[in-house]
Every structure is written in structure tokens, then in C-alpha cells.
Structure 1
């Protein structure tokens, strides 16, 4: 029987993607593991492997198509021994494979799709087709089943497993954003909500103070700006995701900020000595060249180990206390930014951190990072020092509880032993989620960071 190839979910939060390129054409033989297409998400371009064998009978969604919903049929594969022309003629009508053995997927996407990680069993959604059944609210009224959630009088669609997980975690299922078929809340959505992601703002009276300005309508734009004085640049997926996540962060996370100045003189001297002693390859190039940012990442990682109560994530069900320091580092890229993660940074050498960051930065700008390379983490570092910014505050990226904003290193007058001296100083500001990190705890963390930066030899032991 012909097999429908579906638009895969390359991350737990992916709803749509762009079909950038087909690497196989109609009539080509396909083996399990063959890379058959490239899919663009808001953060990366990923290669997709086939899970079944056969002949590519029909391409339904041509390359270059944008905003293809997850689970839409994009091509049809004729199984071995089947009539390829007949399979192509009936494109989209063949039985779709069950999600437990999807037509094609990336290794990184397999684990997040497994609902069993949340509750010990796997849910199997209904089989997707080219003409999905209408949502219950679009057809005849459906009675609300026992235990089904409602929100403002409207039914909230959620799987039984998701409802049970939400109840156990003390999460209002009506506040969870569903990513399953037709917006249905499934177990992975609840798991993300436990880390503070995917939660809608609670339906409550607005707090006092200025409201967030709504998007301007076309009529308002024309009234404010003369025609011809501007051009409209449509938002891409990355910019929409950044806007959504940062709005969510500022609306749901109570931020507070701690700023401290760090003396960089010893660090700069150590960096110069280490780089000068770097071994050379056969072409005479040094094996590594450390940056100040590499020291900052390492110092933050060790500081979290020294103040483990700050190495946490807030969830409705309880506090996640992380054993390792996985440090996200903000990297600018065309159209936005991304935060690749240096895993277990407290155990890594400065040269290893430096090499990883160079690799991440290059692949981030080319949109070639894998989801597991930029999802998760325990805190983040945002460094604008190279742009001459003295100090700033950064917005926490859920599920993190902190983020460190790093300013430029500059010579300033300081007082030492009653005398004015010149030193290279750097201002850093720690943004904290007050639900997880109190003032004294945040002060201990940023104090530990300052001690390490000002005594870089402590990072070597």
C-alpha cells in the first residue's frame, strides 16, 4: 500500500516549516536512512531521512513552499512491488503511517515525539490524511467528556494522558498551548509547560500600569505614516518566535536585576599568556585562540556549581535542580538570534569551549544547528561588549531562571588602598526569575562569577 510522507515535526514546538529542497525526484528509489529533503524551521535548516523503502511516486508539496503545517502530506512513496504510477495517481489517498513509525524523521526529532517519556506509554494520534476530519467545534456540538477541560465556556481539547500529567503537576490544562492535531494538547505540551514554556497568560484582571500596545492595523498605519514613506517586510518564522517567547517571558517571569563590576586585568594577562603558548599546526596557525567570552562562559559554569541553588528552572510542579551547567550563548544571525548550548561547561577546558563556540557561531549563521544544540540549557550569556555597550539588561529565555548580560571591558579609574588607579573594568548584569532565585541567592551567584573572572587561575583547577 502506498505510504504518505508527512511534514515532520523537527522540534517539540514546531507547527509549520518551509520545504526548502527535495534531494530526491519522482521515480527515484529511496532506502531507509536516505536524506530526501531539507526542511527550514524558524531556527535551522535540517536534513530529513527516510524511514521506509520504496520509490518516490509523487511529490505533492514542491520545494520552496513555505509554512507547510506539520503532518500535512508532502509526498507519496510506493512500496516495493507496487505500481508507481498508480500510487502517484492516488497521491494523498494512501494510508498514512502511524506516528510511532513516521515516514521520515531526523534522529533529533524522534525522542521529543515520544509521549512515553512523560507517562510510561505512547499515545497514537489519529491517522493524518489530506482531508482531515473537521474539528468538533466546526461540526455538530460534541458533549464534553468526563474530565474534559473547558476555558471561558469553550472546550479545551486534550489527550487523557496530557490531562493526567497536567493534574499531577498542578497545571491548568486550559493554559497549555496545544501542538497536537488541530491544536490538541498532548503530553509533550504539558512537559514543556512544566518548564514554563507554552503557557498562555492566565485569564485574570489586567494589572495596573500601561498595557502592551497591540499590533497596528493597516488603517492605523496609513493614518500615521504617509503612503510611500515605508515598505512592509513580512515577519519570518524566526522573528515571530522571538517575539512570542520574549513576550511570554516578560509577561510570566518576574524579573529583577543585579549589576556588578569585574576587574579584567588578570584575565587579560592570563589570556595573552595562554594564547601565546598555544601549539602551532604544520601551517603555523595556533591550535586555539581564546576570547574573553570563553572565560565568561567557563566562569558562569563554575559559579553555578558553587551556588547550586541558583542552577535551577521554575516549573509549576516543582523546582528543577540541574546537576550540570549547560550554558546558552546568544549568537546574532540574519533576522534574529539563536542560543546554542555549551553542555557540561564546568567540565570543559577553555580551549574546548572556544572551539565549540566558533563551530556553533558559524553553523548558526548558516542555520545548520540541530535542535538539541540550542534547546534546553540552565542559563545563558548575552555579550554585547564587542559593540561598545557598557551595560544592559537581558530578558530571561524560558526555561532558564537567569541570564547574564555582559558589557564592554574598558579602562576606568578605580580606588585601591585609598589611591586612584586605572584598571580594565567590565560591568555585568544578572537577570533573575524571582520565583526561582531570590535576591541573596542571585547576589551569591554573581559574586561567585566576579571572583572567578578576577582570579582566572581558579578556573584551571
Structure 2
């Protein structure tokens, strides 16, 4: 019995995803644990592993297809001893084809977003299946992959004139790319044909300062989620900002001494490692800030799980150092390096970036002096730290020079009063300026 391979739910909040890349092709043999595809979720790009062993009989969803609903059959697997061709032929009965081949309109189908450069939006999702499905002049339905339909719209190709070479005559990417005849002018599939000329040659219709040449870049799922969450955060959370200047000389000296003692163990502490520990210890001292606002309730956390902002190719992501207040600096450093590497490679697992009770964002390595960060809901605070720099400083009553860093806490004023936020910032400052409290 052929086994359908379905779009997995790679995070608790995932409802659909983008099949970014296939790492297997029909005819390839796979074993449990083999990486079959890369899937872009609402959080990150993650690897999809095979659960069973067998031979890939067919691939139902082309790579690059967006909006693939969780549970959609994306491929068929022939078990050992099964005929691969028969398994591929069984795919339609198992739900291999996109939902467009299913009976007419479904109320759950989201309406496509219309606007400049969005002509292909309606075909991006495999959940399309309404009256907009391509139909041949004879009235027969044209079965084509979402990617093939998108390319056809971009190139102005009439799918009715293309012969499909996929299973059951399905039109695939190669068929459309090999077709050269554009659709006639006035065809219903070419309302504005924004893709007929390079996007960089376009101009925004509003004119004025906005009419400069531009290139439209489609947002990936991660960027869409970042945009939505940050917009919601600024619209729904009353932010209060508190800034302190922190003298770093003692902390930098301690870091140098600790790195000498840890050199044999292959551990090298960064300033950020010490700041993670300092924030966690400050939350221990001021537990009223280790909370989150939950409507009619306030969640008081018994553990300091610090989300640390990391820039990844797909967008900002926040891997978590769990129970940071009770971990040693060496352990925090080792975990942070591993998590940051996985974040940049797009290989973080959901449990490694979902959760957290407070966040830390450090832009000091870019020379940023001071900034205000946006709270990452449902958390109630985030600490933004800038660069350590030489500044005039009063030392023992006399003017001198010290290494100073500005740190700004953003607090959800629904959950944290200004006085409590100020106490947390003072505790953080004291721990940085008297850093022995980070190692005991």
C-alpha cells in the first residue's frame, strides 16, 4: 500500500508552509531519518525527515510552492516490494493532486491579496479550488501545479495551449518554461501584466519621491510573521522605555580573566553571554518583571528563560537560553553559540525558539549606541543594549574615561509598573558593574 507523505506541522502554530526545496526526486530510496525537503514555516526554514523507508514514487507539490496546508499530500512513497509506477498512479486517489481538483468552492479558501506585483497570488496556495481554476475552452479542467500556474501568469502563457507531461497530464514547471506562446492581449489572466518587464524598471503609481525604480521582493513566511507580530505589539502593547548607562570596565576585566581559565576547555565567553546572565539574575532579584499580561490574568514565571535576538538569513529569530539564571556562564556560552549557528543555518527546532519569559537584543557589535526594542508578545519586557564605548565618566570624584554602554528596557505597562521596571534596570546595572554576582 503506497504511503502518502503529507505536509507536516513543524510548529504548534503552523497551519501552512512553503515547500522551499526538495532534496529527493522520484525514484530515490529513502530511509527513516533521511532529509527529504526543506520547509519554510511561520518561524524558520526547517528540514523535513523521512519517517518510513521506501522509494519516492512521485512528488505532488513542486518546490517553491507557497501556502501548502498542513496535511496536504506532497509526495507518495512506495514501500519495499511495491511497484513504483503503481504507487505513483495511486496518488490521485490518495489526494495527491492539489485541492483545485476537488469539488468546487470551499469557504475556508482565503481570498487572494490584490495589488501591484500580486497577480500570481491566487495561484500561490495549493488550497485554491474555486471557480477561478483554469478551464480549457472545451470546459475541461486544466490540472497544473501552483508553480506552473504562477510562471504561466508571469510569462502570459495560456495554459490551455500547454501539454502536460506530469502524472495524468498534469502541467508542471518544465512544461510552462518550454512553452513560448504568450496569451493573446485582453486574456482574462493578464489584468496588468506587471511581470512583462523587469520589476526594477517599474515605478510606484503614487509619483513624487516614491516613483524611483524598485524591485519587488516577495516576503517569506518568517518576514510575514515578524511584520504581523511587531505591528500587533506596537498597536496593542503600551510600551514604556527606561534607559541606564552601565560602566563595563569591571565586567570586561572579569571576562578576560575567565576566558584565560576556560581556554583549556575550549570556551570563550562573549560580552553578550555575560549580559544574558545579568538579565536573568536581575529578573531573579525583581520577579515582578518576569511576567506576562494574559487578559484578566498575570503570569508570574518561576524560571528565567531568555530569548536572544539573532539575525538569520530569513529574518530575526530568538533562540532561548532556558533557566539562564541558574546556569553557569560557560554553559550559557556553549548553548548560545550552538543556537546561533543553528539559527543562521535555519535548523532551529520549535522548542529552541518558542517560549521565553524576557528578551535581549544586542546591536553593540554594529556600533549602535542606543535603541528602543519592540516587545515580543506575550513577553512583557525586552532589553536593548548598545555598544560599549569610551566616555567621560566621574570616577572617585574626578573626571576620567570609562567604557560605558547604554541599555534600554522596553516594558509592557499593563503588566509592569514604571517603578518595577526601574528596579530591574538598576539591578542589571549593578550586576554588570559588580560582575562577581554573575559567577556565584
Scaled by the length of structure 2, the TM-score of the pair is 0.71
**Paired position in structure 2 for 1:47:** 47
Match of 1:234 among 218, 226, 234: 218
- Is the aligned partner of 1:276 residue 2:268? no
**Paired position in structure 2 for 1:388:** 367
**Paired position in structure 2 for 1:148:** none
Cα distance, 1:231 vs. partner?
2.3
Distance change in 2, residues 1:61/1:245 (3 Å): same
SS of aligned partner of 2:388: strand
Distance across 1 between alignment mates of 2:373 and 2:312 = 17
SS of aligned partner of 2:47: strand
Total equivalences in the alignment: 348
Report if the CA contact (8 A) 1:73-1:130 is conserved: no
**Paired position in structure 2 for 1:401:** 380
Match of 1:342 among 321, 331, 344: 321
Distance across 2 between alignment mates of 1:375 and 1:298 = 19
SS of aligned partner of 1:389: coil
**Paired position in structure 1 for 2:19:** 19
Distance across 1 between alignment mates of 2:245 and 2:105 = 59
Distance across 1 between alignment mates of 2:387 and 2:376 = 22
- Is the aligned partner of 1:224 residue 2:195? no
Report if the CA contact (8 A) 1:2-1:95 is conserved: no
**Paired position in structure 1 for 2:289:** 310
SS of aligned partner of 2:56: strand
Cα distance, 1:81 vs. partner?
6.2
**Paired position in structure 2 for 1:251:** 235
- Is the aligned partner of 1:131 residue 2:102? yes
Report if the CA contact (8 A) 2:204-2:211 is conserved: no
**Paired position in structure 2 for 1:85:** 85
- Is the aligned partner of 1:411 residue 2:423? no
**Paired position in structure 1 for 2:119:** none
Cα distance, 1:68 vs. partner?
2.7
Cα distance, 1:448 vs. partner?
1.2
Cα distance, 1:53 vs. partner?
5.2
Unaligned runs of 5+ in 1: 97-127, 139-180, 183-217, 282-286
**Paired position in structure 2 for 1:75:** 75
Distance change in 2, residues 1:129/1:371 (3 Å): farther
Cα distance, 1:6 vs. partner?
1.6
- Is the aligned partner of 1:261 residue 2:240? no
SS of aligned partner of 1:5: strand
Distance across 2 between alignment mates of 1:34 and 1:132 = 35
Q: Equivalent residues in 2 for 1:55-134 (5 A)?
A: 55-78=55-78, 83-94=83-94, 131=102, 134=105
Distance change in 2, residues 1:80/1:418 (3 Å): closer
Report if the CA contact (8 A) 1:18-1:65 is conserved: yes
Cα distance, 1:137 vs. partner?
7.8
Distance across 2 between alignment mates of 1:323 and 1:130 = 51
Scaled by the length of structure 1, the TM-score of the pair is 0.68
**Paired position in structure 2 for 1:118:** none
Distance change in 2, residues 1:301/1:92 (3 Å): farther
Measured against aligned partners, the alpha-carbon deviations of 1:92-111 in whole angstroms (never above 9, x if no partner) come to: 32279xxxxxxxxxxxxxxx
Q: Please say which structure displays the higher CA radius of gyration.
A: 2
Report if the CA contact (8 A) 1:39-1:45 is conserved: yes
Distance change in 2, residues 1:353/1:247 (3 Å): same
Report if the CA contact (8 A) 1:92-1:130 is conserved: no
Unaligned runs of 5+ in 2: 110-126, 129-201
* Alignment root-mean-square deviation, CA: 2.8
